[in-house]
Structure 1
């Protein structure tokens, strides 16, 4: 029987699975399951309205899609070989409150209508005032996180619950990332991940933030530590698949790996295993990752964690909180005005993008959802300049793509101040499937862009962590498609300098004002 590995990838809108043959690295089967309730942004399932900036998930959705994916992948495994390991990744920080047995409070009748009992997605930005309060205090535990935290991290979300829903906080025995919670469900044991703890809960080899540092923020916040647990390195076995989750083709006891953040799983997924490369995951948002044998704190880098991505290296994380989201905003705007389907508009705009032979003539700042790297300010807003009466929709779309590319170049330069030259840039994620978009990225960065052919790089990476947990070596990665800078690259170098000037102006003049805690 050929050894196989199963990867489960829990994203923002849906969960995916991929089955990998470990001898060849071939992807044998994939499956996608959308979350039944979707992202809860306007109301709970009961109809209770949600305040602005909320982004929640129903924890029951994860159980449902997991059962469906395991059943489908188990049936596929019977046709190809034997699953020797299971790995999973998930968005982060996407924490949820549970009782001591791991039951989410949102699944209990007493809390079904309480928003703070639900899973808070990474893009839940209602906790930003608490993040700002942490940043103003400048606690020492932010040293390896660019000196700042944000609403996308665990502590700010926990403080939000403590302050705004004390009844929920009092009932919370475990405050846990959804990836770690899923491992708990599959294995029956609470096994936390060093990846999620390190990048999203400020854990370092010295431990989580010290109680006195948390007490200086809010005395009751020390209780956050009691609701966490010691993390375990990635690539290790968390436990065996429980009988209740076993299916035909996925027997009970199959090793399950420690969870990983979805973007971070893409690093092995695209075949990167050493320093000197930046992996850019271009999706709803963008995450940029690099490896180094050394730790160096540089402002704007969101996290530096030992063994956080691969054993033996410090993993560096940066990002842009709006990429595909920004393009989708423009498509939704056009669809509302013209009545066309969003899918048709995306196709038309991408075709127009590929046909253009020059920059857009506009200049945008990619801050539609704030700025993560290098300013780490979720309150900053997007900018679109240079508009004229003859500006057409395709130009605006191209300007947004160019802005995301300019932002990625700034991320790369920020990373290089910490890890040294990054000779390779490897792209993956949904936007990496567009040759026109990647050509603009190559022109803006002035360097070749390698596009991984793996359609589900994070799910593939999750499967490879499952292989490591089972004691199997990693298979080879499929060869990438390379995009080289062309004749437009020189024009984009000049535009990049204008982008930096625009970012300096708006980043300083309109940085977030202090928001009082409720």
Structure 2
């Protein structure tokens, strides 16, 4: 029977499963399940209110959607005449949750169901920002591979928040674990951490986690975080076999390999078929994540993470990003939809149609893509967006195009930053929601001045998770689907970049210094 792998992709609003034929590389089936409780931003399921900037998940939701999705994939596998040989998964990060020593989330215990800090803190939980700033101001040595800064979205700042604001929860926490690693634990019965999640989100490097003395210097007691972690293993390895309990729940064979977990964006690198250095992979969604591989580590300011075995065993994975890409476009669409009282999707389609029909030339406006701060290379979450060149003749599609150009210009800055560390990146591959709009990818190619390949798979992260399952099962990887190439068709875009950098220099350096003074 033909070998099949299941990739589970746990996102922010829902989880996705993909069934992959490992002989032909064909994606046989896809299923999506929303989380029953959704994202908890205003109150807990009990009704207890949440403060501003909180974003939580109910851990039971992950178990429920996993069961449903695996059952669906088992039925699809049976109908296709194949057999499932492995399961891989990816998840958002840093999305940690506190559990007891056996892996039971504190939020599922009656004593803690009314306690917000007992729940899973989603990646976009930003209430830990004061603790992230305290870490950054101390300039600890363990930030060398992270551009010199940590983030409120990462594990340590969130752990410090619990220690400070809910010491009783921290005391009851035996394991502080990323949701992807926790799911591996649930499926296999083995607590196996991932070098991807630990490296990029918990400051793990081959020599270890931050030293206890460094954490104690930040805040006495914070060194206890280390006791709640575990040594990670590279991605693509077998963490364990599917437990008998989960085999009974899903109908899948007990003992099939469950791979170590990955971060969702990082799994997309393998999902689009990239396994070598010299390639920039950009996941263009609500935010953008830019990733590259290299045989060596070379810290450069502005690069958010460099991790050994973080994306593929034997290579260093480099991570950069832009915190607002699709979100900027969604902001403009919401504004127009509110004014016109039209559905947002109709406005999106209208703007994209107008964009595709316009002559391939710059909008005439210039924007800084900092609607949610700047991650790479300035690593300053307090920076704000800029839109310049407006006149009474400016129309809505022109502003829409300027925001797309801003993302493309920011991507070029990211690419140049990465090239300082890993060398030339002559090949660019994109995936994610924005890559499905040809006019957007064309503008990116024009700004970068090189060909851009848009991956054909609509589920790059889930496909990557399935490929990690194949690696864990010891099977060869199938070929990647063909990509569509976009070559530059307007040299006028190249003139935008110096202006963008000048504007960024003023508002990112000069203006921010004036505000601080």
TM band (smaller chain): over 0.9
**Residue 367 (structure 2) aligns with:** 364
Task: Return closer, same or farther for 1:203/1:511 CA change in 2, 3 Å cut-off.
Answer: farther
Distance 1:437 1:107 in 2: 44
Distance, in Å, in 2 between the alignment partners of 1:425 and 1:345 is 29
Q: What corresponds to 2:225 in structure 1?
A: 224
Secondary structure of the equivalent of 1:219?
Answer: coil
Distance 1:24 1:431 in 2: 27
Equivalent residues of 2:67, 2:250 under 8 A apart = no
Contact between 1:241 and 1:251, CA under 8 Å: does it hold in 2?
yes
Paired residue secondary structure (1:6): strand
> Would the alpha carbon gap of residues 510 and 172 (structure 1) be closer, same or farther in structure 2, given more than 3 Å must change?
farther
Alignment partner, residue 170 of structure 1:
171
Instruction: Report how many residues are paired.
Output: 513
- CA 42–365 in structure 1, closer or farther in 2 if over 3 Å, else same: farther
Query: How far is 1:68 from its partner?
Result: 1.2
Corresponding residue for residue 402 of structure 1: 405
Which residue number in structure 1 is paired with residue 294 of structure 2? 292
Q: What is the TM-score with the length of structure 2 in the denominator?
A: 0.96
Partner of 2:311: 309
1:36-83 CA-to-partner distances (Å, cap 9, x unmatched) read 222222332333332222222221211111111111111001122001
- SS in structure 2 at match of 1:49: coil
After superposition, the Cα gap between the structure-2 partners of 1:182 and 1:513, relative to the gap in structure 1 and judged at 3 Å, is: farther
Q: 208-217 vs 498-507, which deviates more?
A: 498-507
Task: Answer yes or no: is the 8 Å Cα contact 1:56–1:119 preserved in 2.
Answer: yes
- 1:150–1:378 contact (8 Å) kept in structure 2: no
**Which whole-Å deviations, capped at 9, do the CAs of 1:331-390 have from their partners, x for residues lacking one?**
222222222112111111111121222322222211122211111122222222222333
1:33 maps to: 33
Q: CA 1:243–1:334 in structure 2 vs 1: closer, same or farther (change >3 Å)? A: farther
- Bigger drift between 495-504 and 444-453 goes to 495-504
Contact 1:82 1:249 in 2 (8 A): no
Within 2, Cα distance between the matches of 1:38 and 1:364? 33
Question: Where does residue 480 of structure 1 map in the other structure?
Answer: 483
| 5+ residue gaps, structure 1 | none
Q: Deviations over 1:249-293 (max 9, x none)?
A: 522211100001111111111111111101101112111111111
Q: Matches of 1:512 and 1:189 in 2, distance apart?
A: 50
Of 187-196 and 50-59, deviating more is 50-59
How has the CA–CA distance of structure 1 residues 41 and 442 changed in structure 2, closer, same or farther, with 3 Å as cutoff?
Answer: same
Answer yes or no: is 1:259 the counterpart of 2:253.
Answer: no
| Aligned equivalent of 1:132 | 133
- Measured after TM superposition, the shift of residue 111 of structure 1 is 2.2
Is 2:219 aligned against 1:209? no
Separation of aligned partners in 2, 1:380 and 1:51: 23
Check conservation: 1:380, 1:512, Cα contact below 8 A.
no
Name the residue aligned to 1:391.
394
Q: 1:450 is paired with a residue of what secondary structure? A: strand
* Distance apart, 1:512 and its partner CA: 9.6
- 1:59 aligned residue: 59
Aligned CA RMSD, in angstroms, stands at 1.7
- Is residue 70–residue 250 contact of structure 2 (8 Å, CA) maintained in 1? no
* Alpha carbons 1:271, 1:477 under 8 Å: kept: yes
**1:123-161 deviation digits (Å, cap 9, x = unpaired):** 222211111111111111111111111112111111111
Partner of 1:250: 252
